[in-house]
Amino acid sequence: MKRVLSGIQPSGQLHLGNYFGMMSRMINYQQTSDLFCFMANYHALTTTNDCQGLMANTYNAAADFLALGLDSDKTTFWVQSDVPQVAELTWILSNITSVGLIERSTSYKDKIAKGVTPNMGLFSYPILMAADILLFGSDLVPVGKDQKQHLEITRDIAIRFNHVYGEILVVPEPDIDKSTMLVPGLDGQKMSKSYDNTIPIFAPEKAIRKRIMSIVTDSTPVEEPKPVDSPLFRIYALFLSAAEKADLERRFTTPGLRYGDVKKELFERVMETFAPYHQEREYLENHPDHVRTILKKGANKARAVAENYLQKVRDAVGLEY
């Protein structure tokens, strides 16, 4: 059985981009794979020093995943910092990783361009991510397109390590789905917590409605056909079957369509899609001990696997004497 692993940075409310790009795909994989899933709170630390905020975001990300159907009996589900072995592997991998490889990271450059202070954690971010993946012998890593380069860096690091020390690490494959790899946000850019252009999965109805109503549309008059590459069309299409999508395309390209009507429909579709999970989400919100017990159990399972790989790495590089 293939080992499938992915993580999510708890740096804000989870949104439709996270859901389609990664979460729903991970949840589907639990039927057929040996699934490993974690909240990457060490990664979140690279861009925040808000202690209470980080704690709340970590808890909420875990509750979102569980409410959406992640089954902690079938999956190894934990918080990254509960398995600190990953920090040791990061250090070891840092020594076979060239500065040039990391300097080419576009996500690092993007974050600096947005005004994030470039601390060393942010710079080393891809090495920590490589350690996350390599510490568990992962075969497949489901992510959105924005993580593609991080996966390439991970593969480079694993290949380099194996070249120097022998075939120890599993070289993982990225798993990027074409139809969901880049969910647009309200403004048409990538939907992202850091662009404040998201539609959250679990938020009060009013807030979700407000967000959907503010999806940017053009000024094409009602009596003219509308473009199908707009964020409104692309977001709505994520919820539709092939036949429904073809019908929406027909409506967009036929004069008379009003954007406001489509937004209302989309709002209803979003609410209907996630309605079955609201009760469970609320239960988890009010039962923190239940969630923490699940996470601590998951951390124990993850730690056992991590220890095994880490021991092989420690032996190979000469840290055991």
User: Which residues carry out catalysis?
Assistant: 111, 190, 193
Q: Closer CB to ligand ADP, residue 168 or residue 182?
A: 182
Per-residue contact string for residues 127-146; x = within reach of ligand TRP by CB under 6 A: --x--xx-------x-x---
Contact call for residue 76 and ligand TRP (CB under 6 A):
no
Instruction: Give the 3-state secondary structure of the chain.
Output: CCEEEEEECCCCCCEHHHHHHHHHHHHHHCCCCEEEEEECHHHHCCCCCCHHHHHHHHHHHHHHHHHCCCCCCCEEEEEHHHCCHHHHHHHHHHCCCCHHHHHCCHHHHHHHHCCCCCCHHHHHHHHHHHHHHHCCCCCEEECCHHHHHHHHHHHHHHHHHHHHHCCCCCCCEEECCCCCCCCECCCCCECCHHHCCCCECCCCHHHHHHHHHCCCCCCCCCCCCCCCCCHHHHHHHCCCCHHHHHHHHHHHHCCCCCHHHHHHHHHHHHHHHHHHHHHHHHHHHCCHHHHHHHHHHHHHHHHHHHHHHHHHHHHHHCCCC
Contact call for residue 46 and ligand TRP (CB under 6 A):
no
Contact call for residue 45 and ligand TRP (CB under 6 A):
no
Contact call for residue 294 and ligand TRP (CB under 6 A):
no
Residue 285's binding partner among ligand ADP, ligand TRP, none (Cβ under 5 to 8 angstroms by kind) is none
CB of 52 to ligand ADP, least distance (A): 19
Per-residue contact string for residues 167-196; x = within reach of ligand ADP by CB under 6 A: -------------xxxx------xxxxx--
Contact call for residue 47 and ligand ADP (CB under 6 A):
no
CB of 61 to ligand ADP, least distance (A): 9
Site residues, ligand TRP (CB under 6 A) = 5-9, 40, 43, 129, 132-133, 141, 143, 147, 150
Site residues, ligand ADP (CB under 6 A) = 8-9, 11, 17-18, 21-22, 143-144, 146-147, 180-183, 190-194
